[in-house]
Amino acid sequence: MTHKISITELKESLNGQDEYMPYKLNINSSVDAFLKIRETLTRVGRLQTNSKNGKESLWQVCHIVQDEATGACYLVHFKHLYLLSGMDDKTEFNQQDFAQLTYIASLLEKWGLSTYDEQLVDVNTRCNISIIPFSRKKEVLLRKKFYIRKDTV
């Protein structure tokens, strides 16, 4: 199962902020590689602790999507998806959002899950990004700020 978007439409929705374009992933073309990255991204994001019950929630920041036109896979920030869905008036994509995207892209590269055609911008901070190990996955409520409709392969 893949999530398809139009990279051309996304570029248009960024209103000339081309420096904030998502990263094109160079991954093995198998469905397994796509699914492995998708699952990993559910465990990378902003961690919050509920003050009432102490339960931790992790808000996913990035998603893997496929370009409708080319079939190429891209790493996108959830705000890219907000812009693409027409929520422009409520969404501002800024340098901190891009730093989060870049940091997560660098993690995927470090873990051997992806490479990139372009050089990643050096981010000297974790950008408030937490990583939940697979072994702790059931202990943390994994949440998304954007739900992508389900397409079939």
Is position 149 within any domain? no
Beta strands in 6-81 (DSSP E): 23-25, 44-49, 56-60, 62-67, 73-77
Predicted local confidence at residue 38, as pLDDT: 92
Is position 35 within any domain? yes
Is position 152 within any domain? no
Predicted local confidence at residue 83, as pLDDT: 81
> Which amino acid is residue 153, in one-letter code?
V
Number of domains in the chain: 1
> Which amino acid is residue 25, in one-letter code?
L
Note whether 41 and 60 are within 8 A (CB): yes
Question: What pTM, to 2 d.p., does this model score?
Answer: 0.84
Predicted local confidence at residue 7, as pLDDT: 78
Is position 87 within any domain? yes
- We report the CATH number of the domain holding residue 116 as 3.30.70.650
| Tens digit of each residue's pLDDT (9 = 90 or more) over 84-114 | 877 656 778 888 898 999 999 999 999 999 9
How, if at all, do strands 62-67 and 4-5 pair?
parallel
Predicted local confidence at residue 123, as pLDDT: 76
Low-confidence ranges of the chain (pLDDT < 50): 1, 151-153
Is position 13 within any domain? yes
Work out whether the CA dihedral 126, 147, 66, 7 comes out positive or negative. negative
Is position 58 within any domain? yes
Is position 113 within any domain? yes
Structural domain of 70: 4-144
Nearest to 22 by CA among 127, 102, 130, 91: 102
Is position 153 within any domain? no
